[in-house]
Structure 1
Amino acid sequence: MPRLRTKLIAFAGLFLAPLPTADAFGPTPNPVLQNAQSRLMAEFARFATLTDGTVGIAVRDLGTGETLAYNGDTLFPMASTYKVAVAGKILSLLDAGSLSLDETAPRLGRPLPIRTLLEMSLTQSDNEATDALVARAGGPQAVNDWVRSIGVRNLRIDSNTRDLLARAKIAGTGFGDEAVMESGLSAAQRTARDMPNIGFAQDPRDTATPRAMDDLLAAIRLGKALKPQTTAIILSIMERCKTGKDRLRAMLPPGTRIAHKTGTLNGLGNDTGIITLPDGRLFAITVFVMKDYKGRIMRDRIMAEAARAAYDYFLFAPDRHTA
């Protein structure tokens, strides 16, 4: 009888024991990689404390698809980073045979070739050149439709640069008096002190999440948005970007290849780009900072620190799996 009782207890234990989790049947997580990811995320959180505003960071290995993000799904004003989408739409027209890089469009009344306007827009962030391209593209909605057509969500284009700047500095966002004047300051005073327009920062128009901006860069670089020749054109121009020397590129090793585009408004600093590692691997990175009163130097530092931390992570962290 004791032996029978023992067998019954053992048999019942097979049913009463907890079932293994689904993870138990999959690959064992790499603790070294998990630790590296945790350290990177802790660094991103630390960088965010350098501002009294809001920081969004998204990084993505373009080979494996591995993505890490801090406030990656928060909407931020794109400012001039939207010019990447404008250039993409223009080059899609070239792919379709409905545009030539040698045709001209007027900038401040002077006709300039499309290729020149693209160069001015992406390397110098020239607003008038960009708006000439927006008009040639068919307007902001046409650019927005192209972004949707390549599968990018949570990135919307509602304005050309002139109208975007008007909303950034003046009332009309529909979020109350603070959109006109925070702390009793006029738009001109706010500009002089580099203070944010909180109403504009809360307006969903002309915004993107950091993840969505990486989606746009990935679609372009991986050939999902443009033909190989036009992909090479946009990336080569972005590699010649003259703005943002103290942002993403500032702390990278000398000679690091980076194709990027900056954006700047009162209390707001952005940079988004594709960085090439020494072994040829690529990662996309977007850093947005908004509602910041600390000033441009601190915003630039956050972008630079985030880029270097991501660079070291992707270069040294082990054992990634293809997405």
Structure 2
Amino acid sequence: MKRYKHRLLLFLFFTLGVGKGQGSLSSLALELTRLGELSGGTMGVGVIHIESGRRVYVNNNERYPMASTYKVPIAVQLLKRVQMKEITLDQMVEVQTYDLHPGSGTLSRLFINPGVILSVRNLLELMMLISDNSATDIMLDTAGGSKRVNRILKTNGISGMNVDRSTVRLIADWVGVDISAGKEFSNEEFIDTYGSLSEEEIKRANRVFSRDKQDTSTPEAMAVLLEKIWNKEILNPEMSELLIDIMGRCKTGEDRLKGMLPEETFVAHKTGTIGSTTNDVGIIELPRNKGHVVVAAFVKDSELEIPERERAIAHAARAAHDYFLFN
């Protein structure tokens, strides 16, 4: 019933007294701005209707911590290396003890001893499906490191996004764990060091992290990256379709972009969460051959609980979905 009422309200908002076409995009921008107030922080949104090229950006003059959504550009560079035959998806990688890192995922919870061997494809899927941080750091190395990720973004005309750190260093900076450059840090060492920090030290690190420009993006940059992935402008058709298929099977964030969409809606997406930041970025397929909509939603500096931030993202996704369905 709630979904029906929400859809009816949006239908009335977007169709009564609002002309169709480029000029009416202002109504969507106003609605997204209003919905951003539900986030308890600052919500930046990038929306692109792929087939028509119509686009809207809200709070695009700010940078947002990507959190785990930065795994999208990492995946792009990784698959570019596969495309260039520098590596293969079937290539096996041995997971070492120092590869097991804190945060989201499965590897660090299931394995405490070395000897696990997984393929690049396995690790890519762990990174994108369940946001495994250990798999991500292995894939970042396999992709050639952050410099090569940033290079492929720049080469393809994407500005306003940068990938700078491994997930273990990103999390370390967030909580105030000092990881010396070049030092391998085991999961146990990380947890022990974190446990020795005072609450004030952690809060101070959180404040510094929230102002850090590393591993950040504008809504526009992420939206354009997703648009280029869908249009096969960065990767060849095989690699593009593989990435979209994997993102379409994402296991996290059911209450974010997908939260208020019709249950059968196909959404290829990637979530991200850290501290006061909650994100979801992806591509939504519209019904009745109305095309596809990119939505990149970032919430930062929110004092609300995660479910409330997720609700703001879900409302934004539904607003974009219904606008391009009816216009």
List alignment gaps of at least 5 residues for structure 1. 1-29, 173-183, 318-323
Q: Determine the structure 1 residue equivalent to 2:29.
A: 41
1:248 pairs with 2:257: yes
Aligned to 1:120: 126
Please show how residues 211-230 of structure 1 align to structure 2 within 5 Å. 211-230=220-239
Q: 1:5-35, CA deviations, whole angstroms, 9 ceiling, x for partnerless residues?
A: xxxxxxxxxxxxxxxxxxxxxxxxx944467
Q: CA deviation at 1:65?
A: 1.4
- Structure whose alpha-carbon radius of gyration is higher: 1
- Residue range with higher mean Cα deviation, 146-155 or 303-312: 146-155
Letter in 1 for 2:254: K
For the 8 Å contact 2:278–2:309, the answer to whether it is kept is: yes
Cα gap change, 1:244 to 1:213, in 2 (>3 Å): same
Q: TM-score, normalised by structure 1?
A: 0.80
- Could you tell me how far apart the structure 1 residues matched to 2:320 and 2:35 are? 12
Q: Which of 57, 67, 70 is equivalent to 2:55? A: 67
The aligned counterpart of 1:186 is 200
Once residues 32 and 220 of structure 1 are traced to their aligned partners in structure 2, the CA distance between those partners, rounded to angstroms, is 28
- Post-superposition Cα deviations, 1:297-318, rounded to whole Å, max 9, x if no partner, equal 111001100000000001001x
| Structure 1: distance between partners of 2:22 and 2:51 | 19
Specify the SS of the correspondent of 2:140.
Answer: helix
TM-score normalized by the length of structure 2:
0.79
Shift of the alpha carbon at 1:96? 0.5
Matched, 1:81 2:69: yes
SS at match of 1:256: coil
1:148 aligned onto 2:162: no
1:132 aligns with 2:112: no
Partner deviation per Cα, 1:123-153 (whole Å, 9 max, x = no partner): 0000000111011112111211122122211
CA RMSD in angstroms, aligned pairs only: 2.1
- C-alpha distance in 2, partners of 1:315/1:95? 35
Corresponding residue for residue 318 of structure 2? 308
Worse-superposed segment, 42-51 or 111-120: 42-51
Q: Distance in 2 between matches of 1:102 and 1:186?
A: 46
Identity, % of aligned positions:
38
Using the alignment, how far apart are the partners of 2:288 and 2:201 within structure 1? 48
- In 2, Cα distance between equivalents of 1:263 and 1:34: 31
Cα displacement string for residues 47-96 of structure 1 (whole angstroms, at most 9, x for unaligned residues): 12223311101100111211111102310010000001111111101110
Match of 2:167 among 158, 161, 167: 161
- Who is 1:104 aligned against? 92
- How many residue pairs are counted as aligned between the two chains? 273
Report if the CA contact (8 A) 1:220-1:231 is conserved: yes
Mapped contact 1:52–1:293 kept (Cα < 8 A): yes
Task: Give distance in 2, aligned partners of 1:71 and 1:256.
Answer: 27
Q: Which residue of 2 aligns with 1:9?
A: none
- 2:163 & 2:299 partners in 1: Cα distance? 19
Q: Distance in 2 between matches of 1:114 and 1:213?
A: 24
